[in-house]
Every structure is written in structure tokens, then in C-alpha cells.
Structure 1
Amino acid sequence: MGDIKNLVSDSKKGKVSWRFKGELFSMEVEEIDQAIVDNKHNGIVILSGKNNNLPTRLTAVLSDGSSFDLSCPKKFSFYYLSEHAEIGISVVCVSPDPVNGWRDWHFGIDYEKKELFRHCPAY
């Protein structure tokens, strides 16, 4: 169990808040689609924005409130967030054309390089 507690995602107010070691943190996020705690990396992952009903922005937030945005992989669109046993929180991305036989893929977040990596197909 991680140190991040009480994650609240309020799309009407455009705000995500959480507690880390008893201290309250929050950030403003427009058009929140999904926010989830990444216990494996002690962070929070947020999908936001909309284009053709798909989220357009991916933000990784560290427990101390610092954050960085990640670009969507070429030829893919952000789809949804999911928990993955091997990589923590995965970002499922979809492609209009199959890539190695699949349209939906789990991408992991490399927090050091601040980039996504393709992990495995999403079934």
C-alpha cells in the first residue's frame, strides 16, 4: 500500500486532490477524464482533455505534487488507465490500424525518462 491517500478527482471543479503523509495536495486539471493512484511508483496518473471523446493529455504527478506531461505515442490515441501487475498503472492507447496485430496496447510510464513505453497488447 502506498503513501498516497484520499485521491479525489472532481471534474466539475477541475481539481484533483490527495493526501501524502498527512499533507493535502491539489492541482487544477481541466476536463478530467480519469485519475488513479500508481502505488508501484508512489504517484498519480491523470488523463484529461477531449478530442472525439478520447482524452488528449496525460499527466504523471509525483507524491510531492511535482508533475510532468507525457506525449501520446505516434499513431496512437490515449484511451483509458488500468492497473497492471507488472508495470503499475498502464495507459491503454488505441490505434486506428493494428500494430503487430493489435489496436489496443498497454503502455507503461518510465518516470526517470519521462516517457511511455509499449508493454503488451490490451485484451
Structure 2
Amino acid sequence: MINNFICNKEKNELHWIYNTHKVTIGIDDLDLAMIDEKRKIIFVLSKPLPLPMLLTVLNIDGTLLSTFTPPEGASFSYLTLNDKKEVLIVCSFSEKINGWYDWHYSLDLDKKVITRMAPSY
């Protein structure tokens, strides 16, 4: 379990304690981070222009698992939890897709893809 999770945007650092080990990770242009306790991974949004353009996924000891850019025509907006307590990524599009600008995306770590799930409202 992760304890004392801190997202310090001023210093562009994430800090937490995992199994009594202190972990510190530097992320350029850090915007937002959230723990997915169910899958034991950390989602990090960074490079806001003005919305984030990079998603970084770390394991709980701080090792980089993967990075993603937003879908074409979109920016990452924010992170949220679904009813299963998994982190979802909300992407905002410049044009509507099926009547919506904002969509929830889910991460498939095995395939290393993010998949559009449902509108965000």
C-alpha cells in the first residue's frame, strides 16, 4: 500500500512511502497524479498546454511502466475513479465525437493502450 502520497507541482515531484521505502520521482511540468490502488499503479498527467499532453504510468516502487499521448484531436483533462476504484483518464476533444467533447478512457496495461469507454459529463 502507498502512504503519504504528495503531488508537489511547484517542485515537479511526486513523493510517497511504499513498504517503508521513501520514493521520490521528478516529472517535468507536473500537473496531476492519482493512485490506482486496485491495480497498484500511479497515473501522472504532465505538460499542460493548457491541458496535459502526456500520461505517465508508474508502478508503486516508481518504475516507469509506460507513457501515452492523447488521442488525435484531444488533450488529457483530468483523472477520476470508476465504480471499481480504477483510475480513468478524461480526454477533451476539440470537436464532438458522437455528441460529446469529453470522454472517459481506460488503460489496458497488458496491451499498453488507452481505450475510449463512455462520455464524461
* Normalised TM-score (structure 1): 0.90
Matching residue within 61, 70, 77 for 1:64 = 61
Unaligned runs of 5+ in 2: none
* Ranges of 4+ aligned residues in structure 1 off by more than 2 Å: none
Q: Percent identity?
A: 30
Instruction: Give the distance between the partners of 1:103 and 1:60, measured in 2 at CA.
Output: 24
How many residues align structurally? 120
Contact 1:43/1:62 (<8 A) preserved: yes
- How far did residue 50 of structure 1 move? 1.8
Q: Matched residue of 2:52: which SS? A: coil
Matching residue of 2:100: 102
* Normalised TM-score (structure 2): 0.92
Q: Matched residue of 2:62: which SS? A: coil
Matching residue within 4, 20, 25 for 1:27 = 25
Contact 2:36/2:85 (<8 A) preserved: no
- How far did residue 87 of structure 1 move? 6.7
Matching residue within 35, 38, 45 for 2:36 = 38
Question: For residues 4-48 of structure 1, what are the alpha-carbon distances to aligned partners after superposition, in whole Å with 9 as ceiling and x for unaligned?
Answer: 221111111111111112211121012211111111211111111
RMSD of equivalent CA atoms = 1.3
